Copies of this chain bind each other. A is one copy, B any other.
Amino acid sequence: MTDTTPAPETETGLKDTFVSGYLLYLLAAASEAASAQFHARVREEGLRVPEWRVLACLHDRDGAMVTRLAQFALIEQSRLTKIIAQMEDRGLVTRRGDPEDRRRTRVYLSSEGRALAEALVIEARRHEADLLNILAGSDGARIKQALRALIDRLAPAETLDA
């Protein structure tokens, strides 16, 4: 009941293979493998992956506050602050204090940033479609559900809003 999948033994007959079937390994490895190509494209665009993530989040919700951005872009706060500073220097985003709550800093796409974000989101969607096609029919649909289930049950699903 715990695990129906037989341990994936190699033909050389390893005594006790742990890593290659371990869920956390599969998740990390799948994430890496699936992202590799597109992230290479991102870097061709002169962006690092975290910067692309910021752009993508702002594409969804322009003017997001730093903390939320950090949650969605999967970047630690102090790191994000520095990344945003760099992006601001490069003219991709703008920072503006929130008059409603003056502790907050809201981040906005510049027109250049928006253009880049939109272009990349389009490419990302295309790439995603390719990936899903790679997976056998039902898998493609199901994997998203499973991942979402994992996330929802492990992390308190927040929104980029507010």
Chain A interface residues toward B at CB < 8 A: 2-5, 10, 12, 14, 16-36, 38, 56-57, 59-61, 72, 74, 121, 124-125, 128-129, 131-136, 139, 141-151, 153-155, 159-161
Partner of A142, one of B30, B129, B146, B161: B146
Q: Which residues of B contact A26 (CB under 8 A)?
A: 144, 147-148, 151
B5 touches A161 (CB 8 A): no
A5 touches B139 (CB 8 A): no
A124 touches B18 (CB 8 A): yes
Complex Cα gap A135–B157 (Å)? 16
Partner of A60, one of B3, B17, B124, B146: B17
Q: Which residues of B contact A4 (CB under 8 A)?
A: 141
How many Å from the CB of A144 to the closest CB on chain B?
6
New contact pairs (19) apart from A14-B61, A33-B150, CB-CB < 8 Å = A3-B129, A12-B159, A18-B124, A18-B125, A19-B60, A23-B128, A23-B144, A24-B31, A24-B35, A24-B124, A26-B151, A27-B31, A30-B31, A32-B74, A33-B154, A135-B146, A135-B153, A143-B146, A146-B146
